[in-house]
Amino acid sequence: MYKFIMDGVQFPVAPSKFSVKTSGKNETVELVSGGEASFLKSPGLVEFSFDVLLPYFKYPFAEYPDGFKDPAYYISFLDRLFREKRPFYFSVIRDLPNGKVIFDTDIRVSLENISRDENADEGFDITASIELKQYPIKDKTILSFKTDEEGNSVIIEEKEREIDKETPEGYTVQKGDSLWAICKAQLGDGSKCWEIAELNGIANPRLIYPGQVIKFE
Q: Helix or strand or coil: residue 179?
A: helix
In this predicted structure, what is the pLDDT of residue 153? Answer: 47
- pTM of the entire predicted model: 0.58
31-74: per-residue pLDDT in tens?
555 666 665 566 678 889 999 999 999 999 898 887 899 999 99
In tens, the pLDDT along 72-127 reads 999 999 999 898 888 888 888 776 666 665 556 778 889 999 998 877 776 789 99
The three state secondary structure string of 77-90 is HHHHHHHHCCCEEE
**40-55 exposure pattern, b = at least 16 Cβ within 10 A, e = fewer:** eeeeeeebbbbbbbbb
Phi, psi (deg, nearest 5) at residue 77: -60, -45
Q: What is the DSSP letter of 100?
A: -
pLDDT of residue 155: 44
The ranges assigned to domains in the chain are 1-23+42-137
Mean pLDDT, range 9-36, rounded to an integer: 75
